[in-house]
Chain A
Amino acid sequence: MKGMALIEGPWWSLELLPRLPQRMVEGILSLLGLPDGLVHFTGLLVAAGTVTGVFLGLFALLSLIERKVLARIQNRIGPNRAGWFGILQPVADGIKMLTKEDIVPAKAEWFLHLLAPVMIVLPSILALSVIPIGREWTPVSLELGLLLFFAVGALTELSVFIAGWASGSKFPMLGALRAIAQMVSYELPLILSALGVVMVTGSLSLPDIVRHQGDWHLGFIPAWNLFTPWGLVGGIVFFIAAIAEANRCPFDLPEGESEIVAGHMTEYSGFKYALFFIGEYLGLFAISSLGVTLFLGGWQAPLPWLGFIPSWCWFFGKLALVIFLFLWIRGTYPRVRIDQLMRFAWFCLIPIALLTLPAAALWHYTGRGWLGWLVSLPLFFVPWLILTMVFNKRLAGTRRTYRFAES
């Protein structure tokens, strides 16, 4: 019975619900008298399965909700044939994807062509594993969780390249070129805006970052990083960069249908295409979860007297809110041009993201209160004014020319 020490808290506790599968398997295995190492290892596998399962389920749900929300925005009805309110639509989509023919182009390298869709799902799942989902549940609690999150992101870029190159076709190559240029450019503001949080918290561990946001101002305003001058600006920059990293509209140039078919996914069909789709949505979940963790207080309740609701409910609630914002933006804004995209990253987002670092330092050294707001206001306002003036001056009166389309 030595393994029973692994279990803490009653099994019916809602707070511990996400860990129930892991604890059940660990409990059964230790009752059978297996060695502790094996029990722990199996428990970790079950935990990994739980994370993957939960987010894959959310993906299926989101693929329906997205179509419903977009339909509502565009004054349509949306999918409503498969089941009640179209609830079986994800199942129908899945069966369609599974039964489609798998096409490998004659000029493609079959091994790399196969490797890319498999590889693209990996980083998102790895990244989701370090996110603190509830007070009692961080799948993998690492001292360097944030670093791991950004490090595994590198795999996405490589797999997009492999997909584009191994297809042996023009459009995938162009799409991959665009996608990598975009990801590399928008990774900078993403990481820079997260750095302010690391500076103030003094830790790269995501559970620590969430715990650090557990206070209340005036007894009812949560001390989330979003409600600080640098956090507000950093959070907005993070959100915009996250849209670009997740290849969502209005930054979905790598797969802009009207320009380059489907980008690096052009030569994929059947379940390989579905894997790209899954990878993209898991990436969206991962980056939104990180945003929630860094700026919106993770699993912390928004009001002090709401603490009785299990913490993971708050996490998923905030995640749903952020994802709804993504959908809303997709339904509202048109796609930008590639030069606008690049200019926006390098001339606008990166300078502002850099400014959050001195602002975070100032806020810290002025006692983390209203004085910090007072100091930060000119710090952000003056460069913003200058940037706006420069842009307006450069754009005013210039006729838009199409260098390669005309002549």
Chain B
Amino acid sequence: MIPVLILSATILAAAAGAVWLARPVHAALLLALTLALNAVLYLVLGAHFVGLVQFMVYVGAVAVLIVFSLMITRTTDEVAEVAGRRGRFLLGLICALPVMAVLSAMRMGAGPVSIGPSPSGPSLKETGQTLFTSHAPAVLAVAVLLTAVMIGAALLAREDKPEPGKPE
């Protein structure tokens, strides 16, 4: 119980930092920290598979993608300008409130749950079987989506052929 509470507080602090810090690289690194701590939270709660996959996908892929795009672009000035704009706090609140309302409504509907590591989580085999039988359509939909993204990325990244007669 106590580790979970400490972790949750740290996650919230890191997330707040990710939103508030003006420099994009700091925000991105704190976002990575938030995602990594989330993975640790899953591990502490006994959901080992979800925790490791969260780490692999969100820290290994999403955060790296974000910092990589920060490296090859130069966004510092624009972002600082946006961050200095007045009324952004209000705007953020307006955007965040509906999400929070939906999440709270879901939480209210779920009934009371006890916080703490579950005695025995589902084994890897059970997780896999559930994923590829009852949730197979969702998995397939994600696969199709990712394939489309891959093809799109390959098309975008394709080198333009030099026009005939023109020097490169």
Contacts and interface: CB of A to CB of B under 8 A. Distances in A.
A403 interface: yes
A150 B56 contact: yes
Interface in A140-186: 142-144, 147-148, 150-155, 157-158, 161-162, 164-165, 173, 176-177, 180-181, 184
Contacts of B68: 161, 177, 180-181, 184
Contact of B64 (A142, A144, A150, A180): A180
Contact of A154 (B64, B123, B168): B64
Contacts of B25: 165
A165 B61 CA distance: 18
B4 interface: no
B55 A151 contact: yes
B67 A161 contact: yes
A403 B29 CA distance: 35
- Looking at chain B's contact residues, the main secondary structure is helix
A401 B67 CA distance: 31
B143 to A, nearest CB: 14
Contacts of A153: 60
B60 A143 contact: no
A383 B68 CA distance: 33
B108 interface: no
B98 to A, nearest CB: 32
Interface stretch (B46-54, B82-90, B111-119): B46-54
Interface in A170-229: 173, 176-177, 180-181, 184, 187, 204
B71 A154 contact: no
A403 B56 CA distance: 37
Interface string B62-81: 01100110011000000000
Contact of A184 (B39, B48, B64, B123): B64
Contacts of A164: 71
B59 interface: yes
A173 B25 CA distance: 13
Contacts of B49: 144, 147
5 contacts: A147-B53, A150-B60, A151-B53, A176-B71, A401-B168
